[in-house]
Structure 1
Amino acid sequence: MIRIENQHTYSLKNSYGGTAVDLSGGDNYSIIGYHPHDGSNQAWIFQQDGDQNGWFIKSLRSGKYLGVEGCPNDGTAVVVVSNPFKWDVKDSDLENAKGIRILVHGTNFSLDLDYGNSANHTKVQIWGSWPGANQIWGLVEHQ
């Protein structure tokens, strides 16, 4: 099991596309894939919520939480929201991709880099879990 420390700050790098989970500087709302650069808009504070796998993921830059726009469904946009939004974090279930799978709490919807595209500004959405490395994220701790 990958060890995540409560209240520690991490960046999330996609196992397939190599881009980081990035709070868009364009609107400070949308979550996109963007080349890793160690900026505060790519830094996420993991806050444990009682149970072992439940986490709130808070933007270091905005103080808002990683969440979804509307009801969880295939293709739902990932954005920042004002209230804590719970995610389940599990080790990768793919042999060829190391990292974690981040799911909307109590669902099978995974944080997903659209088609694993490595281009800047690629959408980050949620999709039903499938064996694709574009749904696996590597953790890099910020010091």
Structure 2
Amino acid sequence: MVSSGQTYFLTNKKSQTVCDLSGDDQTSVIGFTAQGSDNQKWKVQDTGNGWTLQNIFNKKYLDFDKSQGTSPGNGTKVVAVETNSPCTWDIRPDQNDSNAYRIFVRGSNFNVDLSDHGNPNPNTPVTLWEKWEGENQVWSFKEA
């Protein structure tokens, strides 16, 4: 169960890589080998109207790239941004694994997806994609 105010590593079910704030630009969100560093830790907060995910390293919030518009779409990059009104997410248990979750843009069918069908190689982009049965869209929340 995900608890508000807790800090987690988000581990992809298919690749076993974690959701990592890129050290190159501190904005891109990538899949990377777990190292336990602060750029791989995310604090979740229940706002009462969805969840926010804030990176421990630089306090940026998980969001999606809005440079092409404000609506999510297949392949939209997941990024970390500084903002006073962070993106809210729906965190729902996966229907096939009650110990893992899907992270949806609030009110949509677009969820956080490790690109290239869950490519385990370091630096694989994390994007949004419409929900399908792929385990590359399923994440475990492990306390940091």
TM-score range (shorter-chain normalised) is over 0.9
1:36 matches 2:34: yes
Q: Distance in 2 between matches of 1:4 and 1:17?
A: 21
1:57 to 46, 53, 60: 53
Q: Distance in 2 between matches of 1:37 and 1:113?
A: 18
Q: Distance in 2 between matches of 1:100 and 1:75?
A: 20
Q: Percent identity?
A: 37
Paired residue type of 2:90: D
Aligned residue number for residue 141 of structure 2: 139
Task: Kindly report the root-mean-square deviation, in angstroms, between the aligned alpha carbons of the 2 structures.
Answer: 1.1
Deviations 1:104-140 (A, max 9, x none): 0000001000111000000100000001100000111
Aligned residue number for residue 104 of structure 1: 105
TM-score by length of 2: 0.92
Q: Could you say what secondary structure the match of 1:90 adopts?
A: strand
Q: Distance in 2 between matches of 1:23 and 1:34?
A: 9
Query: How far 1:94 moved relative to its partner?
Result: 2.2
Q: Could you say what secondary structure the match of 1:12 adopts?
A: strand
Q: Which runs of 5+ in 1 are unaligned?
A: none
Question: How many residues are aligned here?
Answer: 137
Q: Distance in 1 between matches of 2:40 and 2:95?
A: 24
Q: Could you say what secondary structure the match of 1:76 adopts?
A: coil
Deviations 1:45-99 (A, max 9, x none): 0011114xx100000001110000013100000000122110000001225x841
TM-score by length of 1: 0.92
Q: Distance in 2 between matches of 1:98 and 1:45?
A: 18
Q: Which runs of 5+ in 2 are unaligned?
A: none
Q: Distance in 2 between matches of 1:85 and 1:59?
A: 13
Paired residue type of 1:12: L
Give runs of ≥4 in structure 1 deviating > 3 Å.
none
Aligned residue number for residue 129 of structure 2: 127
2:14 to 9, 13, 16: 16
Aligned residue number for residue 91 of structure 2: 89
The answer to whether the 8 Å contact 1:98/1:136 transfers is no
The answer to whether the 8 Å contact 1:15/1:98 transfers is no
Q: 122-131 vs 86-95, which deviates more? A: 86-95
